[in-house]
Amino acid sequence: MDTILPNHKHLLSVTLQHFYPLTGNLTWLPQSNKPEILYVDGDSITFTVAESDYNFSSLCGYHGRKTNEFYPLLPQLEATSKTVLPLFALQVTIFPNSGLCIGITISHAVADRKSSNHFMKSWTSVCRLGGKDTSLILESLPVYDRTMIMDPKGIAISTLKDMEMINISKQRLIPPIKAFTDPVEKFLASFVMGQSEIDRLKKWAREQIIEKNKQTMEPPPNFSSFVVTCAYVWVCWIKALGPSIDKPREHFICSVENRMHVEPPLQLTYFGNCLRACHTIIDTINLTNEDGIAVASEAITKGIKRARSRQNSAGLDMKMASERIISVAGSSIFRVYDTDFGWGRPTKVDIISISGTGAISLSERRDGEAGLEAGLSLKKE
């Protein structure tokens, strides 16, 4: 470890030279009408090395684990003022004679999941080769040209107005700081769905929707593994929480990759954020019926199609914040278990932020078999 950590830290520095916005800060200059990422030569990230006596095997499990046990493994983005916010921090926590944890905190202002995954895969690729060949980074350099993004509908300005509703403005980029723990005890658990189970669910949901729409001319749906898994978890989540009498609607939100759907299309290595929101609203009763998973699958599929065809409105209705919302963090396309530093596949990958956002986390399966891995964080009842 005395050799590995310094080497990996050095290769992190080499990689960040090509992903330099991560070392910058989010700021809002007085003369500007929108916030921007400011990078100054010599900027750096916070890199922390810690040691823990937690039970490593337990933390890497799939059973319900206390979310508060994960927070010490994550670095915080320490702001120097209300208008200057660092964007990326990294922590390596060593569990003596057991393993280590790499905790990453990254602001969505600088990168979407595709971009942050691009960075991680670049860093691990040079680490896996022992730093002997850094040319792999050059083969897939990030693209930063923001002039490629057209905004004829003024989505940026609309979003900034929405941000004011949660106290983010030129004078205060950072919302009130919350303790880096959950005041209510929550548990994080992961569930695995095999491909055969997913395929049966696809077939059943398709048959249900064909029967429901038999009087219409709608073509039969083809549901993806992502869609039916989200629908299944969404319906289970609603049934577990129970009905909300005064809030009869349910909201589902997921991000839709948009690099290939803008005009002109962007390079896949465009670094930043290029997403559209799939926002689906369904009455609770329609989700708790016997065909609820099929109804949810149909609605999510249509929502994704709307997002890709740019039929969604410029922004989301901020008033829905008082209603129940579930969102999705991650996707199997990012292949997080292929993030190999040279030690083999990670024992476990968790997205801890879902404890605060109430999202579902999704990834491919750890064991390499076909299927999906889903994570949820809920209060213990």
Which value, in Å, is the radius of gyration of the alpha carbons in the chain?
22
Cite the DSSP H helix spans in the chain.
4-16, 56-59, 113-128, 135-138, 155-164, 195-212, 225-241, 284-288, 292-308, 354-357
Same domain, 306 and 350: yes
Same domain, 356 and 250: yes
108 is catalytic: yes
Structural domain contains residue 352: yes
Three-state SS at 106: strand
Same domain, 134 and 196: no
The predicted structure's pLDDT at residue 159: 80
Tens digit of each residue's pLDDT, the chain (381 residues) = 678 899 999 999 999 999 999 999 999 888 888 889 999 998 999 999 999 999 999 999 999 999 999 999 999 998 877 778 999 999 999 999 999 999 999 999 999 999 999 999 999 999 998 877 777 777 889 999 989 988 888 888 888 887 777 667 777 776 555 556 677 889 999 999 999 999 999 999 999 999 988 888 788 889 999 999 999 999 999 998 887 777 789 999 999 999 998 888 999 999 999 999 999 999 999 999 999 999 999 999 999 999 888 665 444 555 566 788 999 999 999 999 999 999 999 999 999 999 988 899 999 999 999 999 999 999 877
Same domain, 238 and 147: no
Structural domain contains residue 226: yes
Residue among 5, 137, 21, 144 at smallest CA distance from 85: 21
Structural domain boundaries, residue 151: 4-164
Which among 108, 133, 283, 338 is annotated as catalytic? Answer: 108
Asked whether the beta carbons of 282 and 249 are under 8 A apart, the reply is yes
The predicted structure's pLDDT at residue 192: 97
Same domain, 321 and 371: yes
Structural domain contains residue 169: no
Which among 246, 251, 340, 367 is annotated as catalytic? Answer: 340
Same domain, 261 and 309: yes
What domain count does the chain have? 2
Same domain, 108 and 44: yes
Q: How many CB atoms lie within 10 A of CB 29?
A: 12
Same domain, 212 and 355: yes
The predicted structure's pLDDT at residue 314: 42
Structural domain contains residue 344: yes
- Give the whole-angstrom CA distance, residue 184 versus residue 380: 9
* Last residue in a domain, options 104, 129, 164: 164
- Give the whole-angstrom CA distance, residue 204 versus residue 199: 9
Three-state SS at 278: strand
Across the beta sheet with 88-95, the strand order is: 46-51, 88-95, 99-106
Kindly provide the b/e burial profile for residues 169-197, where b requires at least 16 CB atoms within 10 angstroms of the residue's own CB: ebeebeeeeeeeebeeebbbebeebeeee
Structural domain contains residue 173: no
Same domain, 243 and 197: yes
317 is catalytic: no
pTM of the predicted model as reported, rounded to 2 decimal places: 0.90
* Last residue in a domain, options 107, 134, 164: 164
The predicted structure's pLDDT at residue 178: 54
Same domain, 203 and 350: yes
Structural domain contains residue 297: yes
Q: Quote the distance between the C-alpha of residue 288 and its chain's center.
A: 27
- List the CATH number of the domain containing 9: 3.30.559.10
Structural domain contains residue 174: no
Same domain, 36 and 138: yes
Same domain, 124 and 221: no
Structural domain contains residue 179: no
Q: How many residues does the chain have?
A: 381
* Last residue in a domain, options 164, 198, 223: 164
Whether a cis peptide bond, with omega within 30° of 0, leads into 264 is yes
